[in-house]
Amino acid sequence: MDTKLVDAVTQKMKKIKHPDVRVGDVVDVHTKIKEGDKERIQVFSGMVIATKGSGVSKTLTVRKISYGIGVEKIFPLYAPTVIKIKVSKRSKVRRSKLYYLRDRVGKQALKAGVQIPVEGEDFETQQEEAEGMKQKDQNVEVEKEKSDTPKEGVEKKEKDKAKETKEKPKKED
């Protein structure tokens, strides 16, 4: 077998970037599905109960409960049909395989380990929101400084008008 060809294919597939997915994470796997002439993207949301392989041949086993029935799918991580993987929740687990979740029923089937915050997109958006709030606060302070001087002028004009009305005798009918 030609190793150059294998290396070329693996290098091309390794260019695909996916987030760091671990066992215990709740993920949304976006896959491309062909039905006849049409193509569409389907999202499979579930918990990663196992990872196998390494490099280009790495696979994820994702499990979800659909209408009371457990459904598992095995996704090759670097397959061209896997478009995007998004980590929605992250759990700290102490096992590499969570096959014990297969025996659980109801809400217990979805719980594994301790929930920890997800890093990445959510963290970046929180930072951007915080920076935006700081800029808004600075803009408000600048506007207050600008508006202080005209308000004083307006107040003086109002006081002058009030004095003028007091000085002028009111006409009584």
pLDDT surpassing 60 at residue 3: yes
More confident call, 27 vs 3: 27
170 assigned to some structural domain: no
111 & 127 share domain:
no
pLDDT surpassing 70 at residue 10: yes
Amino acid type, 53: G
More confident residue, 171 or 160: 160
Residues 28 and 103 in one domain: yes
| Percentage of the chain modeled with pLDDT above 70 | 64
17 and 97 belong to one structural domain = yes
Whether residue 112 contacts residue 24, with contact meaning beta carbons closer than 8 Å, is answered with yes
Confidence of residue 38 (pLDDT cuts 50, 70, 90): very high
In a domain, residue 112? The reply is yes
pLDDT of residue 104: 78
What pLDDT is stored for residue 124 in this prediction? 40
Q: Domain boundary residue among 80, 95, 117?
A: 117
- Expressed as residue numbers, the domain containing 157 is 120-165
Residue 24 CB coordination number (10 Å): 23
Radius of gyration over alpha carbons of the chain, in Å? Answer: 31
Return the structure tokens found at 124. Answer: 């970046």
- Is the domain of 128 the same as that of 65? no
Residues 84 and 152 in one domain: no
Report the 10 Å Cβ neighbour count for 25: 22
Mean pLDDT of the chain: 75
Kindly state whether residues 8 and 23 are assigned to the same domain.
yes
Question: Is 132's pLDDT higher than 70?
Answer: no
